[in-house]
Every structure is written in C-alpha cells, then in structure tokens.
Amino acid sequence: MKKKYFIPAVLASISLVASSLLASTSANAAATGTLADVLARGKLIVGTGSGNAPWHFKDASGNLVGMDIDIARMLAKGLFDDESKVEFVQQTSDSRIPNILTGKIDITCQFMTINAARAQQVAFTTPYYREGIGLLLSKKGKYKSFAELKAAGSKARISILQNVGAEEGVHEALPQAKVLQFSDVPLIYSAIDSGRADAAATDQSSVGWMVAQFPKKYADGGAGWHPMNYGCALKQGDQVWLNFINQVLNEAISGDAYPAYAASFKKWFGVTLPSPHIGYPRP
C-alpha cells in the first residue's frame, strides 16, 4: 500500500485558511449587542432623510447622496470593509428617535443636533460636523461681507426661514439688522436674488453648498455663529456599539480614513480641510 504525502504548500494553504476562519470567528464572538447583530446580518441599517442637500438628497439618478450618506458608508466600510453594505431607511425628522427606540434601524445619521434633552433618549456619537448660522450673499448685492452688513446697521435686510427664535438668531451677530422671515427655504434665497434682502441667514453647511454649486452667483458672507454639533444617534445602553462607531468616526475625522472624510467635506461644502496634525493627537 502506497503512502500518501501532503505537499507543504497545500499544508500552508490549509493552515492559512484555518487561521483566518479562527480569527474571524473570534472577532465575531467578541462582539456583543448591536455590533454582533449587524456583523451577523451582513449589512448596516441606517435611518436618514432624502430632501435636504447637502446632507441627504437624491441625485439625478434617484440615488441617495450627501454628507450623511457618506458618513453611513464610512461606517459600513469600517464594519465590512465594503461601503456598499448599508441599507437606508428614509425617515422624517420626527422619526429619527422613535425608529432607534423601536429597533427599526441600527443608527440614525440625519444632520441631528446634539443636545441634552435628546441625549436623555438616545446615545450620541462623537460629532462629525459643527453647524452654525452663516450668511449667503448675492454677488450682485450691495454688501460684500459680514463686516459691511454689520456696519450698515438697521439698513441691512436679512432673510431667514420662519421659525421660533429666528429673529433672535440673526441679532446675535447683526443686532440692528431688519429680519425678513419666509415660510420656505427657497424663498430666502429668492429674496436675495431679487434684491429684497441683502443676505440670507441659513445653516453654514447650506452656505457652503450653495456657493459650491453656484460660484458665480453667490458668496459666503465670511461669518459663522451659534455653533451646534451634529452626531449620529443610537440606542442607549449599548456601549460596545457606541465605542465601535466612535472609533470609526474618529479615524475618519483625524486618522487613517481621513482622505474619504476630507473628500466628502470638499464635495458637499466646497471646503478643503487641513490635514490632521501629526504628533500630538489634537483636532
């Protein structure tokens, strides 16, 4: 009876496959809670919107795009090394928290402002953007900068979306300006196009988006105030899941995944971010 011999290369290959399977099994076994569920499912389920450029909206082909969508894909990349392994659940702003609490989604990424009241219901991740009020100017307009608007005093007319505290928000930076409130966002831009308003007070991210889309038509007033942090939100009490998401976001903002975050920032806000400081890990 002839003896059978294994070729060394075959043994090495079998050993490599076995080691990989063992490492994968060990990693999944170490995961708990939502992290374990997501890994076992093979995709991330993210709640987001679909009508607020540059955060989440549909492009000409009907695909969801925007900064929030890119953030979700960065999370999928961290989970599966594949940014496509994410399912988006389109939701309204008032569904952001309920859909988390009922387990319909794993996480919400939908330009959600972090505040103490909401943090009593959900856990927030590390911020991935700091929003604020900015000023959009028409290049055909009378005033060319925030300084000129402030110097104009009560002669300056500022359009803004009608809301509780809208006038007070404008007066934080331009205390004497006349505030014109409108019922819909497009109307605040139409007001500066027609010359009815000298500037539109809106989210700083929207200012960046409008300037990036229409560089010959609009300009950034050069001022931002009333800071608000945006973060993703998830169910409270799942520290392993929160720690993992924060790790992915931190690496995107200032670590080895930074190029994707910087490219997204440039695409949606028209802003080139400085490279992360090398050495002491400061922002």
241 occurs within a structural domain: yes
Q: Residue 143: what residue type? A: Y
Residue 77: how many CA atoms within 13 Å on its side-chain side? 17
H or E stretch at 101: helix 96-101
* DSSP codes of every residue in 161-191: E--TTHHHHHHTT-TTPEEEEESSHHHHHHH
86 lies in the same domain as 116: yes
240 lies in the same domain as 113: yes
Which residues form the domain of 198?
A: 132-228
21 occurs within a structural domain: no
Predicted confidence at residue 281, as pLDDT, reads 80
Residues 6+ apart with CB under 8 A from 205: 54, 55, 67, 111, 129, 131, 268, 269
Q: What is the pLDDT of residues 217-252, one digit of tens each?
A: 999 999 999 999 999 999 999 999 999 999 999 999
77 lies in the same domain as 205: no
Helix pair angle (33-41, 8-30), 10° resolution: 140
Q: Which pair of tokens denotes residue 69?
A: 């969508």
68 occurs within a structural domain: yes
24 occurs within a structural domain: no
Q: What is the pLDDT of residues 195-216, one digit of tens each?
A: 999 999 999 999 999 999 999 9
224 lies in the same domain as 235: no
23 occurs within a structural domain: no
Q: Band the pLDDT of 25: cuts 50, 70, 90.
A: very low
**CATH for 223:** 3.40.190.10
249 lies in the same domain as 210: no
198 occurs within a structural domain: yes
Secondary structure letter of residue 274 according to DSSP: P
207 lies in the same domain as 146: yes
Give the pTM.
0.85
43 lies in the same domain as 111: yes
162 occurs within a structural domain: yes
Report how many domains make up the chain. Answer: 2
275 occurs within a structural domain: no
